[in-house]
Amino acid sequence: MSAPPNRREDELRRQLDTPHPLVPSDLAERAAARGRRLLRRRRIVRYALCTVLLAAATTAVLLLA
Per-residue pLDDT tens digits for 23-48 = 999 999 999 999 999 999 999 999 99
Q: Is residue 7 part of a domain?
A: no
Q: What confidence score (pLDDT) does residue 65 get?
A: 83
Q: Is residue 22 part of a domain?
A: no
Q: How confident is the model at residue 59 (pLDDT cuts 50, 70, 90)?
A: very high
Q: Is residue 42 part of a domain?
A: yes
What is the domain count for the chain?
Answer: 1
Q: Return the amino acid letter for 3.
A: A
Q: Is residue 9 part of a domain?
A: no
What's the domain range around 34?
Answer: 29-65
Q: Is residue 20 part of a domain?
A: no
Answer left, alpha or beta for residue 17, where phi above 0 means left and psi between -120 and 50 means alpha.
alpha
Q: Is residue 41 part of a domain?
A: yes
Q: Is residue 6 part of a domain?
A: no
